Amino acid sequence: MRFKLTVLTSISLLIAGAPQLYADTLTLSREQCVEVALRDNPTVKVADMEITKVDYAKKETLASVFPSIDFSAAYQRSIELQTIRMNMGGESQSLKMGSDNTWNMGFNASLPLIAPTLWKAISISDTQILASLENARASRLDLVNNVNKAYYALMLAIASRDVVKENYDIAVLNASVYEKQFSAGTASEYDVLRSSVQVKNVEPELLQANIAVKQCQLQLKVLMGISSDIDIMPDISLTDLKRDMYLYPTSAERSITDNSSLRTLDIQKKLLTKNVDMKRFAWIPTLAASFNLSWLSLSNGSPFRNQQFNPYSTVGLQLSIPIFSGGAKYYGLKQAQVELKEIDIQRENLVNTLNMQVELAIDNINMEARQIETSAEGVRQAKKAHEIMQKSFDIGAASYLDLRDSELANTTAQLSYLQAIYNYLISTSELDLLLGKGID
């Protein structure tokens, strides 16, 4: 039994492992397959996790502008006290200095007041989040394109199997007719054997067609991230889809501004621009504030007795002025500027390439649309020729070979027609990927 789920939440319950109260075949539209894939595909999940990871990295950088507070404690035991010699009254005397035990503990705090490179690093973190978002978007676009192609491939496999099955049924029918005629004495044994062999010749084609359907279903299920024991069936046939395919706006807006590769390159340019600024900021002095609060204890004998901790504290400023670093900052800046110029050249080349690819894709779509019409006319003619040959064969005016040739021509014409529709749909999906469309 086959059932159709029109509510995506019902699909979720079934895919998530809920007890199957129905048959294990789902009839889904292409849009439903895409929606499930965008939610459950592992590649998309990883891309989303990358966004979260980069966001944490930004917060880690942002934490550097807040005060840093550390606590430390140290204990030191003297093995031999320091000895000094002094001349007193003409005599040299030795004195021991220091304590057996030294305890030191306290808090240290620091706060950057002027840190241009740190501020620019935070700005770079924001752009890195944009890069991760674009990478996730690119993963979704690729996934949508792959699901579309897998769905269309499944539709083609099913339609092709139906054509082969029809051809097989005709061969079986002809073989049955010849067997009856042979039994009645109106056909030769050669005709019976020839028609039977034809059935055997078509059987491998039908088997391959069934295998192709299974393979396409498996590929689609892998992309959707669902269980392998659930079969997916399209809710529309390939020929039915032809009615709406010419609504595709090939003459509409052809802007490549949403192309994922171009957007990624623009984000990389922003990163490099900020990197150049950060290299320049390396010459700016930095200023930091510090505060220290400590307790010190000196004693002799047992380290745990007679301890008296005396507090002391300090507060200060630390100014760092870069003067000379052997040219490292200068050449680092020059390197960043060269990288920025490189990406400008890369972007110009990418724009030219994408525009040519869009023009070529649209030309292919228009060509494949004309191919569909040509193939449709071929199907009409092949079908009419087969009907004429069938009538001629029924009255004995045509041989079995003539009939079989017309059947093969009809089958070939139908398969070519289905392939033309499939090629058109694949080209439109590829153009959507090129233009960055399909998930908005």
147-153 mean pLDDT: 94
Whether 173 contacts 195, CB under 8 Å: no
What b/e readout covers 26-65, taking b as 16+ CB neighbours within 10 angstroms? Answer: bbbebebbbbbbbebbebbeebeebbeebeeebeebeeee
198-211 mean pLDDT: 90
Only one residue has tokens 């895919």, namely 15
- How far is it, in rounded angstroms, from Cα 76 to Cα 417? 90
Residue 24 has a pLDDT of 75
321 Cβ contact list (under 8 Å, min separation 6)? 285
Residue 400 has a pLDDT of 76
Q: Picking from 41-55, 87-101, 153-167, 376-390, which range would have the lowest pLDDT averaged per residue?
A: 87-101
Residue 12 has a pLDDT of 43
Question: Is 50 exceeded by the pLDDT of residue 15?
Answer: no
For residue 225, what are its two tokens?
């991230």
Q: Which residue has the higher pLDDT, 88 or 413?
A: 413
90-116 mean pLDDT: 84
Residue 71 has a pLDDT of 94
| Confidence label for 155 from pLDDT (cuts 50, 70 and 90) | very high
Return the amino acid letter for 246: Y
Whether 402 contacts 393, CB under 8 Å: yes
Three-point CA angle 198, 199, 201, nearest 5°? 65
Question: Is 60 exceeded by the pLDDT of residue 114?
Answer: yes
Classify 206 as helix, strand or coil. helix
Residue 124 has a pLDDT of 87
Residue 247 has a pLDDT of 60
Question: How far lies 424's CA from each of 62, 156, 358, in Å?
Answer: 50, 12, 15
Residue count of the chain: 440
User: Distance from first CA to last CA of the chain, Å, rounded?
Assistant: 35
Q: Picking from 99-103, 358-362, 412-416, which range would have the lowest pLDDT averaged per residue?
A: 99-103
Average pLDDT value for the chain: 84
Q: What's the DSSP call for residue 267?
A: H
Whether 308 contacts 147, CB under 8 Å: no
Whether 140 contacts 146, CB under 8 Å: no
For residue 112, what are its two tokens?
């950057």
Give me Rg for the CA atoms of the chain.
Answer: 40
pLDDT tens-digit profile of 228-239? 788 889 988 888
Residue 148 has a pLDDT of 93
For residue 277, what are its two tokens?
């600024």
Percent of the chain surpassing pLDDT 90: 37
Question: Is 70 exceeded by the pLDDT of residue 246?
Answer: no
Question: Is 90 exceeded by the pLDDT of residue 438?
Answer: no
Return the amino acid letter for 235: D
| Confidence label for 3 from pLDDT (cuts 50, 70 and 90) | very low
Residue 9 has a pLDDT of 39
- What angle do helix axes 30-40 and 189-224 make, rounded to 10 degrees? 40
Whether 365 contacts 431, CB under 8 Å: yes
Residue 61 has a pLDDT of 84
- How far is it, in rounded angstroms, from Cα 144 to Cα 34? 6
State the DSSP H helix or E strand holding residue 5, giving kind and residue range, or none if neither. Answer: none
Q: What's the DSSP call for residue 186?
A: S
Residue 82 has a pLDDT of 77
108 Cβ contact list (under 8 Å, min separation 6)? 69, 70, 71, 72, 290, 291, 292
- The neighbouring-strand residues paired with 297 are 103
Q: Concatenated DSSP letters for 104-171?
A: EEEEEEEEEEE-HHHHHHHHHHHHHHHHHHHHHHHHHHHHHHHHHHHHHHHHHHHHHHHHHHHHHHHH
Residue 23 has a pLDDT of 45
Residue 8 has a pLDDT of 38
| Confidence label for 252 from pLDDT (cuts 50, 70 and 90) | low
Whether 225 contacts 42, CB under 8 Å: yes
pLDDT tens-digit profile of 160-196? 999 999 888 888 888 888 788 888 877 778 878 888 8
Whether 122 contacts 63, CB under 8 Å: no
For residue 75, what are its two tokens?
């204990």
Question: Sign of dihedral through CA atoms 7, 12, 13, 14?
Answer: positive
Backbone φ, ψ for residue 285 (5° rounding): -60, 155
